[in-house]
Structures are given as C-alpha cells and as structure tokens.
Amino acid sequence: MWMVFTVHGQPRIACDSEGDESPACICWSETVSCQDADLTAVPSDIPPDTIVLKLSRNKISSLPKMVFGYLPPLSTLNLRYNKMSYIEAGAFDGEIGLNDNKLESLDEDIFKDLRRLQTIRLEDNEIKRLPSGIFSEANLEDLLILNLHENDLTVIENGTFDNLPSIQSISLEENLLMTVDCGMVPSQNMSASLGSYSKVSS
C-alpha cells in the first residue's frame, strides 16, 4: 500500500513516483483512485486513458478550466466530500459527482456542450439559485439524471429544465421551494419520476 504525504505548492503526482515523492493515487485498469489523500488540488500526470477518476474525501476547493481537458475518455468523475466552492466553466465532461461540497453558485456555462453527460449529482450543497439557461441552453442531449436534492434553492424559473430530451429524473427534495410551477417541469419521459418533484419545503 502506498503512503500518502501532503506536498504544498505543487499538484501531487498521481500515479508514478518521482524522486522521494510517493504517488497520491492508486491506478489500475483505466481507473484512478485518489480518495482520502488530503489533496488540495487535482493531481498532475493522471494517465490520459483514465475512464474513472475518484477524488472524493479530499480538500479540493476549486476546479480551473480544462483541468480534465487532457483526459478525453473520462466518463465518471467523483468529487464528493471535498470543499468545493468554485468551478470554472469548461472544467469537465462525463458523469459528474459534485455532491456533499460547499457550492453556493454555479457559472451559467459550467455544463455547456457536455453532450455525452448522463448524470449530474449536486445534492447536499448550498446552491441558492440556478442561472438562466444553465441546463436549457447547455446542449445536454444525453442527460438522464439531475440531482439537486438538499440545497438552498428558493425559486426555479420556468424553462430551467427545458431542452433536456433524454431526462428521466430530476430530484429537488429538501430545498426551500415554496411553490412548484407546472411550467417548471418538462413533461417528456418524466412519468416514472414525477414523484421527485414533490419537494415543497415547509
């Protein structure tokens, strides 16, 4: 088993040892696991053929643009239980797990043109509002699941979830929504998951 040490100032090396520095991650068969590694930034030198990247339970607070841009096959990204407060638009693609962080807001272009994206997990954050067009103008053609459970949303504009042709489930339970306007809910393909819209807080 590799030991993990914190190195401040520079991103940790992901998989290959360099000098006396131990790698931050365990890497095998197109999967890189950097969980519980005390990371404050995404490690460097993640193999370019990585499909699954696990970065949960660290101290990462932000993601710059194109931080995963050199990982074209990446389809699953787990960043739950970090200290995420800022994500620059263009940071990622694939299945995104950003639940259990400290996000209060999202850039309106954060998911733009992520056509292969199938799952967005944003539950258990502190998101207060959704920018106009964040989903409806993002060309999320393959998005199936959107989880916004347990945030601080008070209002959602009509049309926020429009233009999601593949959507099957949207979860909004345990927010601060006082009313749910019928125009907010897309009707196509949603018959099996309308219960997840019954999320009016008292």
Q: Could you tell me where the beta strands, DSSP code E, fall in the chain?
A: 26-28, 31-33, 52-54, 62-63, 76-78, 86-87, 95-97, 119-121, 145-147, 169-171
Q: Where are the domains of the chain?
A: 61-202
Q: Cα dist. 46→25, 26, 33, 77, 112 in Å?
A: 9, 11, 10, 13, 24
Per-residue pLDDT 10s for the chain (202 aa) are 222 323 334 556 777 655 456 678 999 889 999 999 999 999 888 898 999 999 999 999 999 888 888 888 888 889 999 999 988 877 776 678 899 999 999 988 888 888 878 899 999 999 999 998 999 998 998 899 999 999 999 888 888 899 999 999 999 888 888 766 655 655 554 433 333 443 333 3
Q: Which two tokens stand for residue 40?
A: 């404050």
Amino acid at 11: P
Among 21, 19, 20, 16, CA closest to 32: 16
**Paired residues of 120 in beta bridges:** 96, 146
CATH number of 61-202: 3.80.10.10
What is the amino acid identity at position 47?
P
pLDDT in tens, 45-91: 889 899 999 999 999 999 988 888 888 888 888 999 999 998 887 77
CA dist 81 and 119 (Å) reads 17
